[in-house]
Structure 1
């Protein structure tokens, strides 16, 4: 695959493997990528900035100030510029800085500012790589959604032999090409995602709602966007910071508003994700004025809301994919599989309130995915960004998609 037009920010840190960054730079440029290099101060002890500047055809950056040519090296602008931030090699020291938010140089400041995906290729001696502190750091970085290019095994600079060698430049190139290929996986596809809670008004100031934060729905929207899809989001009221300009975004409040918005878009969509926590019931009447606290008890008549997923599931076209969510507290598997059939889903994602680290408001989740075909997949407790990736990957196992 050609990398023409791709902007790659390449970080180089103080490691004997830094010499391989010259080979990697040449390979990336040869495939058409635009490569901007940032070096840590210690990296220049292993390879000269002049070498990397010559190969990348850009001045190498290492400090916050502008250089004599006036080239910008602002960490925020760099983080926004790149399609991919690749750090190869990354030393144990820089791994720890990234994992703990230590921001004492241009490279780590750019990492903390980067909005693009981050890929890191560790390189160090065998015992360092195996140390629990380093392994814990790598796991922490991975939990942030960073892509870890595992060190390869072989002869090391110390004379020992084992895992610790930076992944070979040719192998890193293949990983980068595979990454960008996956980003185009849903190009031309339209994806509808309902997310967040709904609010059912009782009076002008009060409403019935739930604890949904919208985090899982947003993670799915970002996962589909990163793979080239055109993403339409219908969101109930949320407090998350979102770059809504990246999506076809529509804010709603009530279940009725969400249904009307989803119904209007449904026929145009290739994939529909029903991730919203929609209120099952709504007040039969909305009080025109604030309900006063007069009696000891208060009775409110509720009526059923339209079931968005069931209603649109009955209208699902042959080539459409519908994905639903279930949050259960009892007979979880039975209830989820019943919904899978009733709502005409191709797959359903079961969340459990009984699992520590899973459910509303949290940044992590644990799910069990059931396919209409009978296939099922269970996850560990993972960041919702990784759960979203797992769900998106499962689409490949849906017969309609294949």
Structure 2
């Protein structure tokens, strides 16, 4: 995968994280991209345009009324030539203006004028990031088709600790590289079936058994597979997440419903990624009415749900099967046993007992195991970037182009 020759339009807005945009510009340029930078007036209070000009080797634009080339409307020309527009850092102010179609800065006017993909990388104080208005505006941008590169968590320049850090430059470069790798992706035009989230097994009309899975990893995989050119079907348990763009989503609730949904679509799938946390057991009896509390102990008899991954392993012909192993101990042993017992081609394992990985987190730390005996341990990174790495490995192995080592 390469970004050599790709025209990247980097829009820098006014936050302290603008210094990271310098590193991002350098890394993109060294990777062969043609980087053009537009700065807001506030961004220039943090970093000089001369810095970006030196790093990108291109003129820096900051005024919609100043045309550096005669007879050329700069913001339209930049918008037309861009292969990708990246707003990094994106402040709460600029996010709000974009969500409402305002264009009082060159950055805003250019983003409105482009037909290229637009990615937004927010950076701000944790309380601003969590404010309902900011969250609403990011949802609006996402609904418009703009991709949101989630902020990281950690110590912020304002002194607070929490979510709001600009994604690291190397993570953004990796994601951009993965995106443009679609042209040569082994998954281009392939049917990829992904399961995500938890299932719910009813006890009565009020109560159910479930687990801590939020579906974030599976949804990130669906987005990454779509960006790799695949036709994606996402079979999702209950979740509050918005469906990824251009993905066929099938919503289910119980393990039996997920089993039927997967098996009914398996024959036409080229790749199946089982990232859902499916309940192993369900109550033997479901009460028609709410069960009232009483003085005695309550015993619920549970019966086994069908093992979807094992069923696929027995049924597969030429499909590439990927399973997930959410463990708390002996991770490698459990992952390799799961791969052998269920005839999987790859297993992605992680320690769900860790505070910064597993269920209900924005980050993950996984180990990828493959049938050829290879093992690749990945550092802690956002689930979006983990998904891009996993899809990249699947693409290579699916076409016989490489291993996960």
Contact 2:352 2:358 in 1 (8 A): yes
Change in CA separation of 1:396 and 1:291 when aligned onto 2, cut-off 3 Å:
same
2:350 alignment counterpart: 351
Q: How does 1:70-109 map to 2 (within 5 A)?
A: 73=108, 77=112, 81-84=115-118, 98=123
Of residues 38, 44, 50, the one that matches 2:67 is: 50
- For residues 177 and 281 of structure 2, the distance between their equivalents in structure 1, rounded to whole angstroms, comes to 48
Shift of 1:274: 0.3
**Structure 2 CA distance for partners of 1:397 and 1:59, relative to 1, 3 Å:** closer
Return closer, same or farther for 1:176/1:297 CA change in 2, 3 Å cut-off.
Answer: closer
CA distance, structure 2, for counterparts of residue 358 and residue 365 of structure 1: 4
Matches within 5 A, 1:376-391: 376-391=375-390
- SS of 1:258's equivalent in the other structure is helix
Q: Deviations over 1:132-174 (max 9, x none)?
A: 98xxxxx94334996249xxxxxxxxxxxxxxxxxxxxxxxxx
With normalisation by structure 1, the TM-score equals 0.67
TM-score by length of 2: 0.66
User: 5+ unaligned residues in a row in structure 2: which ranges?
Assistant: 51-59, 80-93, 130-136, 150-155, 158-163
Q: Deviations over 1:11-36 (max 9, x none)?
A: 37899x9xx9xxx9xx999xxxxx99
Does the CA contact (< 8 Å) of 1:183 and 1:226 recur in 2? Answer: no
Structure 1 residue runs of 5 or longer lacking an equivalent are: 30-34, 87-94, 104-108, 119-131, 134-138, 150-174
Count of residues in Structure 1 that have an aligned counterpart in Structure 2: 324
Query: Against the structure 1 CA distance between its residues 178 and 230, is the aligned structure 2 distance closer, same or farther, given a 3 Å change threshold?
Result: closer
Alignment match, 1:395: 394
3-state SS of paired residue (2:277)? coil
Alignment of 1:284-363 (within 5 A): 284-318=284-318, 320-363=319-362
Aligned to 2:203: 202
Q: Is the Cα–Cα contact under 8 Å of residues 222 and 244 in structure 2 kept in the other structure?
A: no
Q: Distance in 1 between matches of 2:258 and 2:346?
A: 21
Change (3 A) 1:57 1:296: closer
Contact 1:195 1:233 in 2 (8 A): yes
Quickly say closer, same or farther: Cα 1:77–1:187, change in 2 above 3 A. Answer: same
1:1-400 equivalences in 2 (<5 Å): 9-11=9-11, 38-41=38-41, 42=44, 49-51=66-68, 54=72, 58=76, 73=108, 77=112, 81-84=115-118, 98=123, 113=141, 115-116=146-147, 140-143=165-168, 147-148=172-173, 179-182=179-182, 185=185, 186-240=187-241, 242-243=242-243, 246-318=246-318, 320-398=319-397
Indicate the SS of the match to 1:191: strand
CA 1:183 to 1:55, structure 2 compared with 1: closer, same or farther past 3 Å?
A: farther
Question: Offset at 1:390?
Answer: 1.7
Q: Secondary structure at the match of 2:261?
A: helix
Instruction: Describe the shift of the 1:333–1:75 C-alpha distance in structure 2 as closer, same or farther (beyond 3 A).
Output: same
Contact 1:200 1:254 in 2 (8 A): yes
What corresponds to 1:123 in structure 2? none
Taking the aligned partners of 2:223 and 2:237, their CA distance within structure 1 comes to: 17
Q: Answer yes or no: is the 8 Å Cα contact 2:221–2:387 preserved in 1.
A: yes
CA apart distance, 1:208: 0.8
Change (3 A) 1:369 1:146: closer
| 1:50 aligned counterpart, secondary structure | coil
Q: Which of these two proteins has the greater Rg computed from alpha carbons?
A: 1
Q: Judge conservation of contact 1:214–1:276 (CA < 8 Å) in 2.
A: yes
1:209 to partner: Cα distance: 0.6
SS in structure 2 of the partner of residue 58 of structure 1: helix
CA distance in 2, matches of 1:291, 1:331: 39
